Chains A and B, each alone.
Chain A
Amino acid sequence: MRALKTLIPLLLFVVIAVFLYRGLSKDPRLIPSPLIDKPAPTFSLPRLDNGEPWSPQAMAGKVWLLNVWGSWCAACVVEHPLISELARDGRLPVVGLAWKDRPQASRAWLERHGNPYEVVISDLPGSVAIDFGVYGAPESFLIDKRGQIRYKQVGPFDQAAIDDTLLPLVQRLRAE
């Protein structure tokens, strides 16, 4: 009984330490998406190049990435070379969603930084982004052959996230 009593402060310390330690490694800005493993929202948005309506049915049967960006977004510039590399050698088709961005500003940005996207759609009012639960740019959604969201990247991709998480998952989803 006495031994147990002296252990109480130690136990308390361990419990608090575990909680605090977990708090250290968690990013408070990462909000888990409830959309993972659910069908991606359907929508129709104008293409940036010709204004024709585009809907994600065009990508049915493919594994593809929806990359939410804007010409006003600083981190998107940082991420862009990685997205370009992903898309360039056809490893993964990437659809760009210009979020709350004037079409002429989006076009100028793509001209300056290169346009690796299979297609770019323009979500000026931001309503489709809200359907996807977007709360910042960039954000990316990996969508499988059946149109389900399987992975969400909040914030810019880095090389490690692409090599260790995204590409292995793409391989697996292609095999499904």
Chain B
Amino acid sequence: MAGPMKVDVDLPPLSVEQKARLKQLEEELRCLVCQNQNLADSNAELASDLRNIVHRMVAEGRGDQAIKDYLVERYGDFVLYDPPVQSNTWLLWGGPFAMLALGAGIWATIQRRQRLGNRPDGPPVDDAARARARALLDEPDTGGGSGRPR
């Protein structure tokens, strides 16, 4: 079974800048049949038709936005590789930043906890207390059953 019919079309010639714009647009637009390819990479019949339409619109001097609007009107935001920020895409755009903020928050909390943990608890140590501690440490071991054998 053959695929859809190929139709030969005459396309208007493009200037160098127009060619660059066409290339740029084709890379930003998504092929609908083969979803993970852009229009420039795709060789599906529909992609070639859409490419021809974009080619003509570029030759007519239509702006990038007008060309994208034309395709979005028919195929929806799906054709754009760079989805617009709007109510149904805020999670897509905001999600990574929310995760980043969450991670930063957790990191900061852990850092703070560690700093608190390293500080000794209890009342501040003054010179008198220090002297008492030294005396206790220097005191010969006299009492109790335990201890080193003499």
Interface residues of A (CB under 8 A from B): 28-29, 31-35, 70, 72-74, 99-102, 105, 124-127, 130-137
6 contacts between A and B (CB under 8 A): A28-B35, A31-B76, A34-B72, A35-B74, A124-B5, A126-B7
Most buried by B among A28, A32, A70, A135: A135
Are B7 and A32 in touch, CB under 8 angstroms?
Answer: no
Contacts of B45 in A (CB 8 A): 100, 126
The binding surface of chain A is classed by DSSP as loop
Among the listed A29, A74, A99, A101, which residue makes an inter-chain contact with B35, where contact means beta carbons less than 8 Å apart?
A29
Mark B1-13 against chain A: 1 for CB-CB distance below 8 A, else 0: 1111101010000
Instruction: Say whether B78 faces chain A, with CB atoms less than 8 Å apart.
Output: yes
Are B4 and A70 in touch, CB under 8 angstroms?
Answer: yes
Are A133 and B74 in touch, CB under 8 angstroms?
Answer: yes
Known A72-B1, A127-B49; further 19 A-B contacts with Cβ < 8 A = A31-B75, A31-B78, A32-B76, A34-B76, A35-B74, A70-B4, A72-B4, A73-B4, A99-B4, A100-B45, A105-B5, A126-B45, A130-B46, A130-B50, A130-B74, A134-B46, A135-B32, A135-B33, A136-B46
Among the listed B7, B32, B33, which residue makes an inter-chain contact with A124, where contact means beta carbons less than 8 Å apart?
B7
Most buried by A among B5, B45, B53, B73: B5
Contacts of B50 in A (CB 8 A): 130
Once A and B bind, how many residue pairs between them come within 8 Å at the CB atom? 63
Q: With CB as the reference atom, state the residue of chain A lying closest to B91.
A: A19
Contacts of A100 in B (CB 8 A): 4-5, 7, 45
Are A126 and B46 in touch, CB under 8 angstroms?
Answer: yes
Contacts of B5 in A (CB 8 A): 72, 100-102, 105, 124
Given known pairs A74-B1, A100-B5, the reply for A135 and B73 (CB within 8 Å) is no
Contacts of A102 in B (CB 8 A): 5
Are B33 and A34 in touch, CB under 8 angstroms?
Answer: no
Measured CB to CB, the closest approach of chain A to B12, in angstroms, equals 16
B1-50 interface (Cβ within 8 A of A): 1-5, 7, 9, 32-33, 35, 45-46, 49-50
Q: How far is the CA of A136 from the CA of B46 in the complex (A)?
A: 8
Q: How far is the CA of A31 from the CA of B76 in the complex (A)?
A: 8
Q: How far is the CA of A73 from the CA of B35 in the complex (A)?
A: 19
Most buried by A among B1, B4, B7, B78: B4
Measured CB to CB, the closest approach of chain A to B71, in angstroms, equals 9
Contacts of B76 in A (CB 8 A): 31-34, 133
Are B2 and A72 in touch, CB under 8 angstroms?
Answer: yes
Q: With CB as the reference atom, state the residue of chain B lying closest to A38.
A: B73
Measured CB to CB, the closest approach of chain B to A92, in angstroms, equals 25
Mark B62-97 against chain A: 1 for CB-CB distance below 8 A, else 0: 000000000011111010000000000000000000
Measured CB to CB, the closest approach of chain A to B76, in angstroms, equals 4
Among the listed B7, B33, B53, which residue makes an inter-chain contact with A130, where contact means beta carbons less than 8 Å apart?
B53
Contacts of B75 in A (CB 8 A): 31, 34, 133, 135
Measured CB to CB, the closest approach of chain A to B64, in angstroms, equals 19
